[in-house]
Amino acid sequence: MREPAVPDPNDHTAQTREQALAETFVRLADTMVDDYDVADLLDQLVTACVYVLGVTAAGLLLDDQKGNLALVASSSQETRLLELFVLQNNEGPCLDCVRTGAVVISANLESDRHRWPLFVPAARMAGFESVAALPMRLREQTIGGLGLFMNVPRPIPGANLRLAQALADVATIGVLQQRSLHRSHVLSEQLQGALSSRITIEQAKGILAERNNLTMEVAFDALRAHARNHNLKLTDVARSVVTGGLDPTRR
């Protein structure tokens, strides 16, 4: 596989990408404190993958510490629905990745229909033609999987896969750090809280989309922008939309 060339220092696109990558690592590292929003941390991860790596979409499955996997972050509605389909049908590259702790790649989903007879048609119907799944792991412990999706049948460059794994590794450390600070049941409650937060965020997206005739993606962008502009947690903003009538789409 041919690797991308070293970025030209005069290429402003490359400079913008490198700056975004550096800022992403800084944001992920900043979450490694006692009190952080897991949902926001993992949302930053999938958002960064799409923007920095140039993939079409990204989604993340996380172990809820009770032996189950759950969808906790996705960059698009299509990805969210596809990952939920994966969980419901117990089949797909992300599940294989979590089970084995190894990277799983399909550069052409149609040619891998025999591997995932249910997943491949659903993925292609959602507009995806290739996928790479990377483990969220530290040493021998795997707590989730990061799925990268492309709308064309071609492999993601090796350099980009290594960057994605590095981002996933930093996020994994951020989650697992809590195990060294708290008892396992506290971590379980925190991860369960992340899943509850995701439900609240999805409810807020739906309310904004319905109220303002927006797509789910635009509604979510408004939530995230309001949280960052006002230095608030994404979950708190979503809860205000659901319970307090906040509308971040209105200035």
Exposed, middle or buried, 242 (CB in 10 Å: 0-12/13-18/19+)?
Answer: middle
User: CATH 3.30.450.40: which residues of the chain?
Assistant: 1-180
Q: Which residue in 110, 77, 73, 76 sits closest to 94, CA to CA? A: 73
Residues of the chain with CATH 1.10.10.10: 182-251
Which pLDDT score is estimated for 105? 96
User: What confidence score (pLDDT) does residue 185 get?
Assistant: 54
All residues at 6 or more sequence positions from 157 whose CB lies less than 8 Å from its CB, including other chains: 1, 3, 4
Beta-carbon contacts of residue 198 (< 8 Å; ≥ 6 apart): 39, 70, 71, 72, 73
**The predicted structure's pLDDT at residue 11:** 44
Instruction: Say what angle helices 184-212 and 38-53 make with each other, to 10 degrees.
Output: 60
Domain with residues 182-251, CATH architecture: Orthogonal Bundle (1.10)
Q: What is the pLDDT of residue 95?
A: 93
Alpha-carbon distance 2 to 158, whole Å?
8
pLDDT in single tens digits along all 251 residues of the chain: 333 333 343 443 455 767 666 666 666 666 555 556 777 778 888 988 898 888 999 999 988 777 788 888 888 888 988 998 888 889 999 999 999 999 999 999 999 999 999 999 999 999 999 999 999 988 888 989 999 999 999 999 998 999 899 888 888 887 777 556 555 555 566 667 677 888 889 999 999 999 889 899 899 999 989 998 888 889 899 999 999 878 888 76
- Which residue in 136, 141, 144 sits closest to 64, CA to CA? 144
Pick the CATH number of 1-180 from 3.10.50.40, 3.30.390.30, 3.30.450.40, 1.10.357.10: 3.30.450.40
